[in-house]
Amino acid sequence: MTGSRGTRVDLHVKVLDESVVERAKSRGIDVLVYAPHFTRLPAIERRAEQFSDGELTVIPAREIFAGPWHDRRHVLAFDLSNPIPDFITLEGAMDELDRQSATVLAPHPEFLNVSLDRSQIDRYSDLLDAVEAYNPKHLPWDNRRAREITRGTDLAPFTSSYAHLLGTIGESWTTVDRSIDEAGDLTAALQSGNPQLFHRTGVTHRLRCLAEFAHLGYENTWEKFDRVVRSGMEPTHPGHVAYGGRFDEVRVD
């Protein structure tokens, strides 16, 4: 869907259900890139298809956790042809993304210990398609650093809601000048070099940003315990039977 205002794309959300779709539409979002944590690609693809319609396109994606828990590097990718697990080396992840000719983005650069840093962005610049310049989960100085990193590259900038919470949907978006019906359209739009970045402002926006930042505490304590200790193994762990041992040589955890 597009129009004179362009196509509004939220390039990274973690949640997807009827309420998310309703909120996205009410806030003028045309495309969601859906990349939930620790969910295998086939399940993401099925859910993206379930919630796509004539008003909203949902593109399945993976935020790959490269490296061990204590030093993981997040890489956002879509237009994948085969599943890629978490907890493999960054080099192993990038080699596989290159082999699949996937579209690869650097979300929240240099944020805590979960992001690509500037040296890694420079190293993999030939594989990357865009770098995030604004993220609601960032604190103000994190966004300033992200803008500086993005300006220092030849890669397209983008923003997203990075929504782990329903209320963050529609807080930030990237506008492109073409219709987006599938992943390849979005790749072409980013590579055109003319995406425009927007985010809401004011007290409500700031409170929603702080709520997303606070969610990190839950995400890295109880939720982590529940997934790792109680469940035994993440569905996207390279040792899971679903991957058939293909990534044993590059697994790190």
**Which domain CATH number covers 101?**
3.20.20.140
Q: Find out whether 239 and 228 touch, Cβ atoms under 8 Å.
A: no
From the list 49, 179, 183, 169, the residue with the least C-alpha distance to 103 is: 183
Token pair 């295998």 in the structure block, residue: 40
pLDDT(247) > 80: yes
Q: How confident is the model at residue 207 (pLDDT cuts 50, 70, 90)?
A: very high
pLDDT at 54 over 90: yes
pTM, rounded to two decimals: 0.92
Per-residue pLDDT at 2: 43
- pLDDT-derived band at 3 (thresholds 50, 70, 90) equals very low
Whether residue 66 is contained in a domain is answered as yes
The 3-state DSSP class for residue 16 equals: coil
Number of domains present in the structure of the chain: 1
| Domain membership flag for residue 158 | yes
- Close Cβ partners of 70 (under 8 Å, ≥ 6 residues apart): 113
What mean pLDDT comes out for the span 211-234?
63
Q: What percent of the chain has pLDDT over 70?
A: 92
**If we measure between CA atoms, which residue out of 156, 147, 90 comes closest to residue 124?**
90
Please indicate, yes or no, if residue 2 is contained in any of the structural domains.
no
pLDDT, position 226 = 54
Is 197 part of a structural domain of the chain? yes
Inside any domain, residue 123 = yes
Cβ 121 vs Cβ 148: under 8 Å = no
Q: Are 38 and 84 in contact (CB under 8 A)?
A: no
Domain that holds residue 243: 7-250
Q: Is the residue at 205 inside a domain?
A: yes
Question: Helix 18-26 to helix 41-51 angle, to the nearest 10 degrees?
Answer: 60
Q: Which amino acid is at 236?
A: T
Q: What stretches of 168-244 show up as alpha helix (H) in DSSP?
A: 183-191, 202-219, 222-225
Q: Give the model's pLDDT for residue 194.
A: 84
1 domain residue, yes or no: no
Residue 193 has pLDDT above 80, yes or no: no
pLDDT of residue 213: 85
Q: In what side-by-side order are the strands of the sheet with 156-159?
A: 156-159, 128-134, 103-106, 73-78, 57-66, 31-34, 7-13, 172-176, 196-199
Instruction: Kindly state whether residue 166 falls inside one of the protein's structural domains.
Output: yes
Token pair 């599938």 in the structure block, residue: 182
Closest C-alpha among 156, 162, 161 to residue 186:
156
